[in-house]
Structure 1
Amino acid sequence: MNNQSDKQAVDTGYELVTIRLPVIATFAALVLGLALGVALGGADLPQRILELIGLVGTLWLRALQMTIIPLVASLLVLGLAQMMAAARAGAAARRFLGLVFGVLILGGIFTAVMLPLLLTAFPIPESASGFLAQVPDEELAVPDILDFLASLIAPNMIAAAAETAMLPLTIFFALLAIAISQLPKDQNARLMGFFHALANAMLLIIGWVLWIAPLGVFALAFGVGMRSGGGAFAALGHYILVVSAMGGFILVLAYFVAWLLGGISPWRFARQIIPAQAVAISTQSSLASLPAQLDSASRLGLRSSTAEFVLPLAVAIFRATSPAMNLAVAMYVAALAGVEISPALAVAGILVALIISVGSVSLPGSISFVVSIGPIALAMGVPVEPLALLVAVEMLPDIMRTLANVTMNVAVVSAVDRNAD
């Protein structure tokens, strides 16, 4: 296999705009808003002031939501184009993609089964109900299996977008990406250029919205603090631990992949992966951790030709924790809102989480949080309003995301290398 030609085969030529986000300021605004809301919870504030603060939070939340569908559509087309280009790159790439889908599906199934059990053993604090002030009161119907199957295809994509029916929209744009890949080169280039420009435009808008996140999060957090009191902090801590536990499964799974498929003992793998894990924790970036991942692969005795091909590809199109942790967030909010997750809705969540993960892996954590989890929640009939506050604490679960992603990347390299020609 010619490694250089494979690298060229997976280069789509499309790059997304880079956005720097006020993560620390947003987190500080969350803490300050909650603390001030708790302190003034018993105060008799003028109703007009409370309504004005609520309006600021509502407008910011709506601005966050308005870009979800066009951004998801464009990122899906670009991400699946990368995935299909990788599939044509050779046997090693196809083995890699097989492992990618195996890990992603297993992570989604694990969360769908284990998260309800975990929440039964460690219930959500009652104080968390304060996060639901912006959630509509209407009762959500639980579809049966036939209704679920019928909902997979929408006769009118514009109507589906208006109703935020994410599952049929996701399937449509996945099929569109496949169809575009079959077009003549000039038509393919024009359409890919359009979706690339659309993605960048939406990223710029969502970047502007997230730049004022401290203001919007402060307004929302103030209301939550007034309604929930000091228990709001305990509720956020519970959420962080539960969602991170689902990422912990992927982290442990990486050691089994290296052992059972890569032939590397867990103890040896643990020792040699530590440098890459240290960089992952300190940077919270799989891309920044790439040199350390290559170094760990070398320490494990893996062939450089395999590592230098698979690891950049993994950083580009693989985020191992996405279905497990993103589905966990949606299911946590569902439990918070009292939404029953039927088997059909769980399958819908896993499907959307799997497909969406392909298009969001190159994005910063705060943006991928909105883009990845919003569609999952909408597909499962889960309110998206609480996500506006949870994005402010994403920097903490994101440590587990990056740690598990980097560890799984190297584990997958060991599995591909063991079966390389």
Structure 2
Amino acid sequence: MSLTQSKKLGLTSKILIGMGAGIILGLLLRNLFPDSSFINEYITEGFLHVIGTVFVSGLKMLVVPLVFISLVCGTCSLSDPSKLGRLGGKTIAFYLFTTAIAISVAISIAILVHPGNASLVSEGLSFNAKEAPSLSEVLINIVPTNPLQAMSEGNMLQIILFAVIFGFAISHIGERGKRVAALFNDLNEVIMRVVTLIMQLAPYGVFALMAKLALTLGLETFGSVVKYFFVVLGVLLIHGFIVYPSLLKLFTGLNPLIFIRKMRDVQLFAFSTASSNATLPVTIEAAEHRLGVDNKVASFTLPLGATINMDGTAIMQGVATVFIAQVYGVDLTITDYTMVVITATLASIGTAGVPGVGLIMLAMVLNQVGLPVEGIALIIGVDRLLDMVRTAVNVTGDSVATVIIAKSENEFDETTFNDTQAGKTAGSFNDQLHAK
């Protein structure tokens, strides 16, 4: 029995194997059958597309019920309004702080490396940016006129607000509220079990996603923007593996290496799906059971972070702004760069929930400093790969903020954090079945 368990691969290993196998299969099919309509129709857009989409849809299926139920559970245990206000203030302030750091570092490194080249400009470049909502629209749209419609549309800010109000009301109706709270706690356990079940399918979903990516994204896509690509990638890695761990150590004294080790599954999920929202069930599960964060904090900070915390996107905006300015031969001043930092930091909240948010935010930033929005067309080709990396960075930032805030609120179990075996999901469901 122990020998069998020792040979059992962990979830991280399975996901990595699925990722590697998918990339290898995709590259082999791409090179062996470069122009095969059969491969494209039945493998790329058929089998692989179906498996990958079903996996991502399974994760997204849980986002709304998980956020609502988990946030109600967390809020109804916070009977003190001042504590809820303090928690919200800390969360938003920390997210804005890290976003400002991210874009400042991105701009500085891009200026030093100088990825842009004026020879890249060509006639016919075009990019039609969707109009971003005004600040007044954002504030008005936070309040749902129909909570059920907000849930059906996946409007996170509206769901968060309604769940907070609903949970707060439960905590103030006495004995009847306790019965309702117990029901939501039971529902929360059910949702977490469903998360565990879907996580067992992760290696297959990741395999399909990566195989399709390898089949559809060729090296020619990089072309002349290879320097831009690696500058963005480098800053993302610096922010994810140096800035975040440093902040964690500074504010909590915890071991960053333990944190990074426990975040591997979440980062791989985020990388393969390129969606913070789709990864949210996995992020919440890991924060509570692997990192030792209480549900009262995790259920609030993580959904909010998935909606407004966009450090990875801010990094892309900083490098892209410098890159496009260099390509078009525009010299930006210190005032321009300051405006880029301020605009991108505030826009990380202002454009939350808007489709194509990264490019919309970038269009806003470019307009702010008088750069041509058409320059975005230069970087669209490599944005898919960078989007995968910056999503992994974003969920890492959400989790760092959650641990720091939980520790400051004394809602953190350090024993769980330091236990390398705590909350491991690989095989846990099957093990429990066998145990019964």
In the aligned structure 2, how far is the partner of 1:380 from the partner of 1:347?
10
Q: Percent of aligned pairs with the same residue?
A: 22
Residue 383 of structure 1 pairs with residue 372 of structure 2: yes
> Offset at 1:233?
4.3
> Offset at 1:175?
6.3
Match of 2:392 in 1: 403
Match of 2:264 in 1: 274
Shift of the 291–263 alpha-carbon distance from structure 1 to 2, 3 Å rule, reads: farther
Contact 1:353–1:372 under 8 Å retained in 2 = yes
In the aligned structure 2, how far is the partner of 1:404 from the partner of 1:305?
23
Contact 2:94–2:401 under 8 Å retained in 1 = yes
> Offset at 1:268?
0.6
The letter for the 1-side match of 2:357 is S
Match of 1:355 in 2: 346
Residue 174 of structure 1 pairs with residue 116 of structure 2: no
* Partner deviation per Cα, 1:110-146 (whole Å, 9 max, x = no partner): 2232210122xxx54x5x623342479xxxxxxxxxx
Match of 1:247 in 2: 236
Match of 2:252 in 1: 262
Match runs of 1:225-244 below 5 Å: 233-244=222-233
In the aligned structure 2, how far is the partner of 1:303 from the partner of 1:231?
47
Match of 1:313 in 2: 304
In the aligned structure 1, how far is the partner of 2:250 from the partner of 2:386?
28
The letter for the 2-side match of 1:313 is L
Contact 1:320–1:405 under 8 Å retained in 2 = yes
In the aligned structure 2, how far is the partner of 1:299 from the partner of 1:108?
30
> Offset at 1:287?
1.1
- Which ranges of structure 2 fall in alignment gaps of 5 or more residues? 1-80, 156-218, 411-436
Shift of the 418–88 alpha-carbon distance from structure 1 to 2, 3 Å rule, reads: closer
- Secondary structure at 1:288 match in 2: helix
The letter for the 1-side match of 2:324 is V
In the aligned structure 2, how far is the partner of 1:269 from the partner of 1:311?
16
In the aligned structure 1, how far is the partner of 2:336 from the partner of 2:314?
14
The partner residue of 2:324 within 333, 341, 357 is: 333
> Offset at 1:177?
5.7
In the aligned structure 2, how far is the partner of 1:245 from the partner of 1:95?
29
Moved more, 88-97 or 337-346: 88-97
Match runs of 1:65-144 below 5 Å: 89-119=84-114, 123-124=115-116, 129-134=119-124
In the aligned structure 1, how far is the partner of 2:301 from the partner of 2:273?
21
- Secondary structure at 1:382 match in 2: coil
> Offset at 1:245?
2.3
In the aligned structure 2, how far is the partner of 1:232 from the partner of 1:383?
22
* Partner deviation per Cα, 1:217-268 (whole Å, 9 max, x = no partner): xxxxxxxxxxxxx998442222211122232232132222222223321111
TM-score under structure 1 length normalisation: 0.54
Shift of the 264–331 alpha-carbon distance from structure 1 to 2, 3 Å rule, reads: same
In the aligned structure 1, how far is the partner of 2:91 from the partner of 2:222?
41
The letter for the 1-side match of 2:317 is N
Contact 2:343–2:365 under 8 Å retained in 1 = yes
In the aligned structure 2, how far is the partner of 1:88 from the partner of 1:303?
14
Shift of the 87–356 alpha-carbon distance from structure 1 to 2, 3 Å rule, reads: farther
The letter for the 2-side match of 1:259 is K
In the aligned structure 2, how far is the partner of 1:405 from the partner of 1:232?
25
- Secondary structure at 1:281 match in 2: helix
> Offset at 1:327?
2.1
The partner residue of 1:371 within 360, 367, 373 is: 360
Contact 1:327–1:376 under 8 Å retained in 2 = no
Residue 323 of structure 1 pairs with residue 314 of structure 2: yes
Contact 1:240–1:396 under 8 Å retained in 2 = no
Contact 1:262–1:411 under 8 Å retained in 2 = no
> Offset at 1:368?
1.9
TM-score under structure 2 length normalisation: 0.52
The letter for the 1-side match of 2:96 is F
Shift of the 315–88 alpha-carbon distance from structure 1 to 2, 3 Å rule, reads: farther
> Offset at 1:407?
0.6
Shift of the 384–302 alpha-carbon distance from structure 1 to 2, 3 Å rule, reads: same
Shift of the 135–394 alpha-carbon distance from structure 1 to 2, 3 Å rule, reads: closer
- Secondary structure at 1:246 match in 2: helix
The partner residue of 1:293 within 261, 283, 293 is: 283
Match of 1:59 in 2: none
In the aligned structure 2, how far is the partner of 1:369 from the partner of 1:87?
34
In the aligned structure 2, how far is the partner of 1:400 from the partner of 1:244?
8
Match of 2:426 in 1: none
Contact 1:247–1:324 under 8 Å retained in 2 = yes
- Which ranges of structure 1 fall in alignment gaps of 5 or more residues? 1-85, 137-163, 200-229
The letter for the 1-side match of 2:230 is L
Shift of the 259–117 alpha-carbon distance from structure 1 to 2, 3 Å rule, reads: same
Contact 2:294–2:406 under 8 Å retained in 1 = yes
Contact 2:221–2:381 under 8 Å retained in 1 = no
- Secondary structure at 2:374 match in 1: coil
In the aligned structure 2, how far is the partner of 1:339 from the partner of 1:371?
21
> Offset at 1:106?
1.3
